[in-house]
Amino acid sequence: ALPDGGHVLTAQSVDAVGNNSAASNSWSIVVDATAPDAPAITSVVNDLSGSPVAIADNGATNDTLPTLNGTGEAGTTISIRVDGVEVGTTLVGAGGVWTFTPEDALAEGPHAITVVATDAAGNTGEPSPAFNLTIDTVPPVAPVITVAVDTSGSVTGDVVSDQPTDETLPLIRGTGPANAQISLYDGTTLLGTATTSATGAWSIQLTVPLGNGTHALTATVSDAAGNTATSGTFNLVVDN
């Protein structure tokens, strides 16, 4: 077998009495029987919002078309495999980096993504270590704003939606998924955040006085995959 490297081939014929013909034209070949090194997945990105957010290995995402970035031997073709099935290919650039976004959405649930490099000579290397992620597009249970608590003035106690109150710094209470972060808004203005208890209860004490009028309060919750759910509107009517 010819060793790896460049070789120049020529041919000569020999007659019955041992006379050699002139050499043929030369033919140059390069033997490459060495498989490329395994490529690597360096990052997987959720870019649904327009601002890339890195997805952790063994993490969850609501992006069914996540962008993969990696490194490999320049000029090789990278085969992207999801759960062992090729979903596409991409080329490694001169700088040794590659990127890939699947054309078909990944199904809900866990997936193991690996990449394999094949060079121009047809040698295929070993697969990369798996990057594991879970596709989760199911939003969490929406939170609920239950009451605003009036603690000052002549009339105190719980205030329900659309009930007037003279309290400009109420305590807002509600429920939501357990151990989740709640964000409370007045329209588009963030009023505060809280983490729900193991039973889903939360409360936020306002620190900036509300002006007179009706304030449309909503609460949102986001899960680890980036899915968001929003409560119904709680109309807090301040009449001070």
Q: Please state whether 153 falls in left (phi above 0), alpha (psi between -120 and 50) or beta.
A: left
Confidence of residue 106 (pLDDT cuts 50, 70, 90): very high
Beta-carbon contacts of 3 under 8 Å, excluding residues fewer than 6 positions away, are 31
Structure confidence at residue 224 (pLDDT): 87
> How much is the pLDDT for 54?
96
Looking at residue 41, what is its pLDDT?
Answer: 98
pTM value is 0.75
pLDDT over threshold 90, residue 2: no
Percent of the chain whose pLDDT exceeds 90: 80
Q: Tens digits of per-residue pLDDT, 203-225? A: 999 999 999 999 999 999 999 89
Q: Look at residues 175, 181, 188, 118 and name the one whose alpha carbon lies nearest to residue 147.
A: 175
Q: How sure is the predictor about 202, in pLDDT bands with cuts at 50, 70 and 90? A: very high
Judge whether residue 3 has pLDDT over 90. Answer: no
Question: What DSSP line would sit under 11-56, residue for residue?
Answer: ---B-TT-PBPPP---EEEEE--PPPPP-EEEEEEE-TTSS-EEPP
